[in-house]
Structure 1
Amino acid sequence: MCRSSACAENWAMPATLSKPFAALATASRSKFMWPKRMLWQIFPSTLLVMLLALAAVTVMAGTLFERFYRQDIYGSLQQRAWVLENRMTLATDEKTVDPLCKQLSIKSGSRITVIHSSGRVLGDSLEDPTKMANHADRPEVRLALAGKVGKAEHFSQTLREEMLYVAVPLQSDGKVVGVVRVAQSLGDLHHTLRTIYLRLFALALITAGLSALVSLLLARHFTLPLEVMREGLKRFAAGQLDHKIPLPETVELADVTRGMNEMAGQLRERIRTVEQQRNEQQAVLTSMREGVLALDAEDRILFLNESARRQLHIDLALGAGRTLQEAVRNTEVQRLATATLQEHRDGEGEIVIRDGEQDRCLQIHTTALKSAENKVIGALLVLNDITRLRQLETVRRDFVANVSHELKTPITSVKGYVETLLDGGMHEPADLQRFLEIIGRQANRLSAIIDDLLLLSRLEENSKRVAFEKENRSIKETLETAAELCEMLARNKSIALEIQCDEALNAFFNPTLLEQAVTNLVNNAIRYSKPSTSVQIGAEATAEGVVIRVRDQGAGISREHLPRLFERFYRVDKARSREMGGTGLGLSIVKHIMQVHRGRVEVESELGKGSVFELHLPKS
């Protein structure tokens, strides 16, 4: 066998292995150590201290009581012994000693024994002295024969039980001639002590129960404020930062609680500030007409407002958290975002997205998102819907081209006929008259175009600055006036003008402007209607105000022309419109007149079935 030290060296675990296992053991112990409530940590220790103190007091009380009771018994026996010693001194005959012992024992209730100096028993209250052994060797007897008070506890061979003895010397002429011994059974003492101990034990149990209750109340008194603080912290964690934890009576806990309440108040104010700032930012971003879309460094959507979602047609289910490629199916948007994320530079571009039946043009600006450390953490895309701007640019170009064309046509015609006259046409009376009539018609057309342009300009300027004066006038009177102005044109095509309007129908409007709008509509209806048909002019009251309708039985208008029908110089059939003498501004004037009245104009038309134009006037 190897020595113990050698075996330890051979079987000891290496330090490199023991440390991980020790850590694992510690982790295992900590893993299975469940947290205990403070009440059950304070209560058992407090109760144990009280029980130990109670046990010590009970044992000490029992010991002191037993000692006191024994001393009391010894004192009582000693007094009895001295009394008996005086009585026994008077007795000179040894034969009278035993009867006297038995007689006095009845009165005293104790065992009385008188012993000669030689140890011979002279009298005993319970036994025949002649049958009793010599008592000279008894310890209490030896002390008494020595002139002292003897006390002893030992087993009585005569009575076969434990006894408590007190012996006093019996003297005659100054000499010890014998011993008077008084005894009492220890059974009485043990019975009394047993009763006392039982009472002490019962009292100890009651005291232990009270101690347990006091310990529990004491522990509860200490832990209750902590539980209140715990519940308060739970409410803080749940977001109820307006809650106030009641202050406990303990100064230290009150300071901690006060600090918690102050911390919750400060946290509440900070959260409110953050929420207010977030709500303000959210409100600003939500109300923006521009679309805003934020990406992180991994091309995932961090935020997008409603405008961006609507402009890019992003599904709600593919919002924040998804990649840009998943949410937006447009390569140009992805290219601009990728360039900003990779190259850390701003970008700009335009895309066209199909929105229902029309195309929408979006202008995109991209910029890098940077942190406080100037590190690129993502990209920001701002989208502007410039569809209206592009449409206005198209309208402007068309307007310039149309105005140039409409003005150039009569000017070219006038110039051509003037040059013809200058080249000798004035010498031909027939040609001179015809050329001058043509020049007059072209001049009138040029004047009409200029007048309509000036009217449009005046309508636009006044609708933005000062409203036209409005009067409460009869609608039927205005319709009849417009019909009279177009009666000659209608008679030339055998077209009947039918007016359907209640005499009492009134509205607030500018008579001159509304008459101009109705005249333009009736004039167009007559021009584009077939001969020998009718044009219906009617008006009726609605919940919103008054509606004026002009219905014709012409060729109708194709659906693709309706959105641009009220643009300046827009013509469905340009050649036919010029032949009929129109300037191309009539319907645009109607639209602007209705805008001045805060109303609107609508049209319904179908090829081969005619058209219906409606003027909607508000109530006031």
Structure 2
Amino acid sequence: MNRDWLPIKTTPWTLGLILLALLLLIQTTELPQRLDYWLYDQAITSNPLEASDEVVLVTIDELSLNRLGRWPWPRNLHAELIAKLNEAGAKTIVFDILFAEPSPDDQQLAEQMRSHGNVILPVYLSPPTSQYLLSEQLPVGVLASAAAGLGHAHVELDSDGVARGLYLFNGLGNQLWPSLALAASGVGPQNPEAGDTPSYVNIRDQYRAVPLIGGAGSLQSYSFSQVLTQPAAPEHFSGKIVFVGATAAGFGDILPTPFSGLSRPMSGVEFHANVLSAYMQGLLIKPAPAWASALLAMTTILILALALPPMRPARTLLACAMVLAGLLGIYLFVLLTMRWWFPLANALLVPLLAFPVSSGLRLAMTNRFLNRQLDELARSPQVALPAPSGRNPTQLLEHFQALFRPTGWLLMEENDILSARGLSQSDIPDDLTPGHWFHDSNRSWIQLLRAGTRYHLGLLLPNDLGREAIQRYLRRLHLEQAVPADSAARPSENISARIERVRIATDRLNHMQQFIRRSFERMPDGIIVTDELGVIRFANGHIEEWFREPMPSLAGLPLVKLLEGHDPRETPPWHETVSDTLTLLQSRTVDLRIRDKDFLIHFAPFSLPDSDQQGIIANISDISELREQQRQHREAIDFISHDVRSPLVSQLALIEQLKRDPSHIEQEQLEQLGRLARRSYHLAEEFVQLARAEQLTETRFYECEFLAIVENARDSVSEQAVEKQIQLQLQGTEDLWLKGNAELLERAVINLLTNAVQYSPSGSDVSIQVFRAGHQACLTIADEGTGIDPEELPHLFDRYRRQKSTELAGVHGTGLGLSFVKTVVEKHRGEISVSSQPGEGSAFTLKLPIADPMA
């Protein structure tokens, strides 16, 4: 394929640059980030962590508020809680409650905190009011000094408003507070690397994504009021880290998570407990650096840009799907095993874009190529027969004159006569339907409309047997012009227009193929086309019929094997004929005989256009009928030279004898001369009748009644039967109408009756039965004669064939009578059969189709 004219080529550079440009364009949207969040949420929610046994919750829930009163509670209640938990053996107590304002019970709470020794309090980073800068909200001094550690409770929300992680260290100025989870693990504050940072700047460090245990309520929790009012429960709290915080609705400390979204958000204390559980198991997830996502995306673009262009279209989708699956596999492995959150969205979008982009480039190339091919197809000549409806009436008249040789005609344009002979304007029938023929005896008329002009065309046909066939042919002609399609119905869209062009081109190709296929199939000769090795690649239906080989077995069969299998010969051998045709590029013509039929096969070499491939076209003609005609011609010459010539010679000799002695003419000589003359006349008559039967066509058929034909034949032979005292017994009363030629049918029945009388002994009977059997009219003529020998039955209807027994008995014939009968019956699409036993007589049965089988 010539690619010089293609504006866009599917190359690695083209595909890679387009993918890179699309990926950069997508970066201006939130799609990559949202896709990353979605992938992370699906991975985390599909693989929730198991909760650590060391972490439990004491929740300030609705039950506690109902029992202990409205919030805020006196701090002595928190002191009592610490005492209960200390008694139960709690290892660490983490409060997610800010004690920022002084209270009378602070000293009691501080003493309980010191008594336990490992109580963690929160630090909040927020402005006191909207008019102040961000500041650290610390517990009151007495509580802060009594606490074992302080940790920030700030949880970072992602851009979509979902909490997926937090910064392990957060603070202002020179002090970075650990998160509550790290403070509970004994991690203290850190100083930032830059020492000159202003005190009002929020500093965050070491972001970690938190793989949650599940949705809200997944951790083991106990109500604040129940712990306070019930005896200490070491089985629940001994050696464990206890988080204390609010979970009741209305506190506002709620966080949407990947497990819950906005439907069931998680409380802050429960989130921090999940952080500690993951931290203790070493399962916090570290985000990958920003450059890693770009590197992976560029690597994916490079791989696909190199791999897709040379691939077949069917494999492009598979390759993109495999890259997509590989990226997802790597992502899950790194996330769940190595605990790295690798931004995959950009790399994942590359194969999703690569398939349509690659397909689009291929479609652009294909579309341009198809458009060019469609243009070439549109300019190529169309193989089709022009419709007669598009021809000018003057041309139509010329064609009809050349084809039918009418004795007269008339062509008028409106009221002007263009051509006339034997017909005038007054002969035009009234109320002619445009485009439809009107036949009145031997006159045929039609009215035509061409470009708004009205034409009248009339033909005066020969009043012979072919007139009806010509008029039937005229009725089949479509001479009216088709209504042009509405131009507004043409497709206006580009794709629709191209589809329409493809449809038109496909229709033209299909019409061309059908034209060629039907032309080959309708050819009177058999056609075989071989390749340059003499292997059959095409054969029409005649080959399948004559050789009796199914079409699938013909394709791929060497021509030599086909010919050797049906007509083996040594001189000249078939392989030599076929090879000479291919090697010498010379035509050959050879006789061929298949199943007692004669053929003539002509081998001709050919070469395909714009190709070096050679092949053979073998044309096989059935010349069996020609050979049969030649044989009949020779037999006719022999018949004329012997059978006709012999009585004529005898007549001439007798006449010469009478001329030498005209005074002594005897009656016996005259009778002999009459017999010889009658024999010559009968020979000539039978010869002529046989020729008429062979030339009989259905155009000379008409409706006739079979019983009347048989009765007329019987009357014609009755005198001959009376001379031999033979009774002709006719049985049959039903009228049987046929479509045929009554004259020749009657002559055929006369021949059968004459033979029956001739070969029957005197005083015997000849039975004539006319009856109906199904859709056939039947006639059986049975005699009581000498019968026919079995070996002569197969050749009984051969022309010029005489029975030996009848010749020896002195009954002389020409051998044309029964041949005439068989020819007439076959021309009427009927059949004849004979049954005979020597010494018992013969029975001939004719079966002819009835004109109206349903009558």
- Find the aligned partners of 1:468 and 1:375 in 2 and give their Cα distance: 56
Equivalent position amino acid for 1:438 in 2: Q
Identity of aligned residues (%): 22
> Would you say 1:307 and 2:542 are equivalent positions?
yes
Q: Counterpart in 2 of 1:421? A: 658
Q: Is the CA contact (8 Å cut-off) linking 1:348 and 1:363 kept in structure 2?
A: yes
How far the C-alpha of 1:395 sits from its partner, in A, is 0.8
For structure 1, which runs of at least 5 residues remain unmatched after alignment? 1-29, 56-64, 78-107, 112-125, 127-151, 155-160, 165-188, 237-257
1:176-191 aligned at under 5 Å gives the runs: none
> Would you say 1:486 and 2:710 are equivalent positions?
no
Instruction: Name the structure where helix makes up a greater proportion of residues.
Output: 1
Residue number among 354, 379, 385 corresponding to 2:616 in the alignment: 379
How far the C-alpha of 1:493 sits from its partner, in A, is 4.8
In structure 2, the CA distance between the partners of 1:227 and 1:467, relative to structure 1 (3 Å rule), is same
In structure 2, the CA distance between the partners of 1:593 and 1:224, relative to structure 1 (3 Å rule), is closer
> Would you say 1:393 and 2:623 are equivalent positions?
no
Q: Counterpart in 2 of 1:467? A: 700
How far the C-alpha of 1:346 sits from its partner, in A, is 0.8
- Find the aligned partners of 1:446 and 1:362 in 2 and give their Cα distance: 38
Computing the radius of gyration from Cα coordinates, the structure with the larger value is 1
- The C-alpha deviation readout for 1:70-117, integer Å capped at 9, x for no partner, is xx999999xxxxxxxxxxxxxxxxxxxxxxxxxxxxxx9789xxxxxx
- Find the aligned partners of 1:342 and 1:558 in 2 and give their Cα distance: 57
The 3-state SS of whatever aligns with 1:518 is helix
Q: TM-score, normalised by structure 1?
A: 0.56
- Find the aligned partners of 1:347 and 1:562 in 2 and give their Cα distance: 42
> Would you say 1:284 and 2:519 are equivalent positions?
yes
Equivalent position amino acid for 1:552 in 2: D
Equivalent position amino acid for 2:672 in 1: I
Q: Counterpart in 2 of 1:507? A: 737
Q: Is the CA contact (8 Å cut-off) linking 2:526 and 2:542 kept in structure 1?
A: yes
Q: Counterpart in 1 of 2:194? A: none
Q: Counterpart in 2 of 1:351? A: 592
Equivalent position amino acid for 1:447 in 2: Y
> Would you say 1:573 and 2:804 are equivalent positions?
yes
1:135-174 aligned at under 5 Å gives the runs: none
In structure 2, the CA distance between the partners of 1:578 and 1:452, relative to structure 1 (3 Å rule), is farther
How far the C-alpha of 1:538 sits from its partner, in A, is 0.5
How far the C-alpha of 1:428 sits from its partner, in A, is 4.7
Pairwise CA RMSD? 5.5
How far the C-alpha of 1:398 sits from its partner, in A, is 0.5
Residue number among 821, 831, 835 corresponding to 1:605 in the alignment: 835
- Find the aligned partners of 2:205 and 2:256 in 1 and give their Cα distance: 12
The 3-state SS of whatever aligns with 1:365 is strand
Equivalent position amino acid for 2:771 in 1: E
Q: Counterpart in 2 of 1:549? A: 780
Equivalent position amino acid for 1:361 in 2: D
In structure 2, the CA distance between the partners of 1:515 and 1:261, relative to structure 1 (3 Å rule), is closer
In structure 2, the CA distance between the partners of 1:278 and 1:611, relative to structure 1 (3 Å rule), is farther
> Would you say 1:363 and 2:597 are equivalent positions?
no
Equivalent position amino acid for 1:536 in 2: S
Residue number among 676, 690, 695 corresponding to 1:442 in the alignment: 676
Residue number among 767, 782, 785 corresponding to 1:536 in the alignment: 767
Equivalent position amino acid for 1:452 in 2: E
- Find the aligned partners of 1:373 and 1:221 in 2 and give their Cα distance: 44
Equivalent position amino acid for 2:757 in 1: I
How far the C-alpha of 1:441 sits from its partner, in A, is 0.9
- The C-alpha deviation readout for 1:105-142, integer Å capped at 9, x for no partner, is xxx9789xxxxxxxxxxxxxx9xxxxxxxxxxxxxxxx
Q: Counterpart in 1 of 2:46? A: none
Q: Counterpart in 1 of 2:728? A: 497
How far the C-alpha of 1:408 sits from its partner, in A, is 0.9
Residue number among 569, 580, 605 corresponding to 1:339 in the alignment: 580
In structure 2, the CA distance between the partners of 1:469 and 1:219, relative to structure 1 (3 Å rule), is closer
- Find the aligned partners of 2:190 and 2:698 in 1 and give their Cα distance: 133
How far the C-alpha of 1:378 sits from its partner, in A, is 1.1
> Would you say 1:586 and 2:823 are equivalent positions?
no
> Would you say 1:325 and 2:560 are equivalent positions?
yes
In structure 2, the CA distance between the partners of 1:511 and 1:232, relative to structure 1 (3 Å rule), is same
- Find the aligned partners of 1:479 and 1:153 in 2 and give their Cα distance: 136
Equivalent position amino acid for 1:467 in 2: R
Q: Is the CA contact (8 Å cut-off) linking 1:314 and 1:328 kept in structure 2?
A: no
The 3-state SS of whatever aligns with 1:537 is strand
For structure 2, which runs of at least 5 residues remain unmatched after alignment? 1-11, 38-123, 146-172, 176-187, 192-198, 212-254, 262-286, 288-341, 368-492
- Find the aligned partners of 2:507 and 2:705 in 1 and give their Cα distance: 55
- The C-alpha deviation readout for 1:275-304, integer Å capped at 9, x for no partner, is 432333222223333111111111211112
- Find the aligned partners of 2:190 and 2:721 in 1 and give their Cα distance: 157
How far the C-alpha of 1:594 sits from its partner, in A, is 4.3
In structure 2, the CA distance between the partners of 1:308 and 1:469, relative to structure 1 (3 Å rule), is closer
How far the C-alpha of 1:386 sits from its partner, in A, is 0.7
Q: Is the CA contact (8 Å cut-off) linking 2:126 and 2:135 kept in structure 1?
A: no
How far the C-alpha of 1:224 sits from its partner, in A, is 8.8
In structure 2, the CA distance between the partners of 1:325 and 1:601, relative to structure 1 (3 Å rule), is closer
The 3-state SS of whatever aligns with 1:328 is helix
Equivalent position amino acid for 1:351 in 2: L
In structure 2, the CA distance between the partners of 1:261 and 1:226, relative to structure 1 (3 Å rule), is farther
How far the C-alpha of 1:410 sits from its partner, in A, is 1.1
Q: Is the CA contact (8 Å cut-off) linking 2:822 and 2:832 kept in structure 1?
A: no
In structure 2, the CA distance between the partners of 1:352 and 1:66, relative to structure 1 (3 Å rule), is same
How far the C-alpha of 1:263 sits from its partner, in A, is 7.1
Q: Counterpart in 1 of 2:757? A: 526
Q: Is the CA contact (8 Å cut-off) linking 1:296 and 1:377 kept in structure 2?
A: yes
- With a CA cutoff of 8 Å and minimum separation of 6, indicate the structure with the bigger relative contact order: 2
In structure 2, the CA distance between the partners of 1:74 and 1:545, relative to structure 1 (3 Å rule), is closer
- Find the aligned partners of 1:337 and 1:153 in 2 and give their Cα distance: 103
- The C-alpha deviation readout for 1:168-200, integer Å capped at 9, x for no partner, is xxxxxxxxxxxxxxxxxxxxx99x978998999
| Aligned residues between the structures | 434
The 3-state SS of whatever aligns with 1:505 is coil
Q: Is the CA contact (8 Å cut-off) linking 2:126 and 2:134 kept in structure 1?
A: no
- Find the aligned partners of 2:134 and 2:814 in 1 and give their Cα distance: 150
- Find the aligned partners of 1:577 and 1:592 in 2 and give their Cα distance: 27
In structure 2, the CA distance between the partners of 1:562 and 1:262, relative to structure 1 (3 Å rule), is farther
In structure 2, the CA distance between the partners of 1:282 and 1:479, relative to structure 1 (3 Å rule), is closer
How far the C-alpha of 1:576 sits from its partner, in A, is 1.5
- Find the aligned partners of 2:702 and 2:494 in 1 and give their Cα distance: 70
- Find the aligned partners of 2:645 and 2:818 in 1 and give their Cα distance: 22
- Find the aligned partners of 2:511 and 2:690 in 1 and give their Cα distance: 48
In structure 2, the CA distance between the partners of 1:67 and 1:307, relative to structure 1 (3 Å rule), is same
- The C-alpha deviation readout for 1:399-449, integer Å capped at 9, x for no partner, is 12212322211111112222333344x5556xx222221111111211222
Q: Is the CA contact (8 Å cut-off) linking 1:318 and 1:327 kept in structure 2?
A: no
The 3-state SS of whatever aligns with 1:302 is strand
Equivalent position amino acid for 1:619 in 2: I
The 3-state SS of whatever aligns with 2:700 is coil
Q: Is the CA contact (8 Å cut-off) linking 2:127 and 2:134 kept in structure 1?
A: no
- The C-alpha deviation readout for 1:283-342, integer Å capped at 9, x for no partner, is 222333311111111121111222123323445564212322343324454432222111
Q: Counterpart in 1 of 2:528? A: 293
- Find the aligned partners of 2:654 and 2:190 in 1 and give their Cα distance: 170
In structure 2, the CA distance between the partners of 1:565 and 1:66, relative to structure 1 (3 Å rule), is same
- Find the aligned partners of 1:284 and 1:226 in 2 and give their Cα distance: 46
In structure 2, the CA distance between the partners of 1:218 and 1:468, relative to structure 1 (3 Å rule), is closer
- Find the aligned partners of 2:802 and 2:648 in 1 and give their Cα distance: 20
- Find the aligned partners of 2:189 and 2:600 in 1 and give their Cα distance: 119
Q: Is the CA contact (8 Å cut-off) linking 2:769 and 2:781 kept in structure 1?
A: yes
> Would you say 1:409 and 2:646 are equivalent positions?
yes
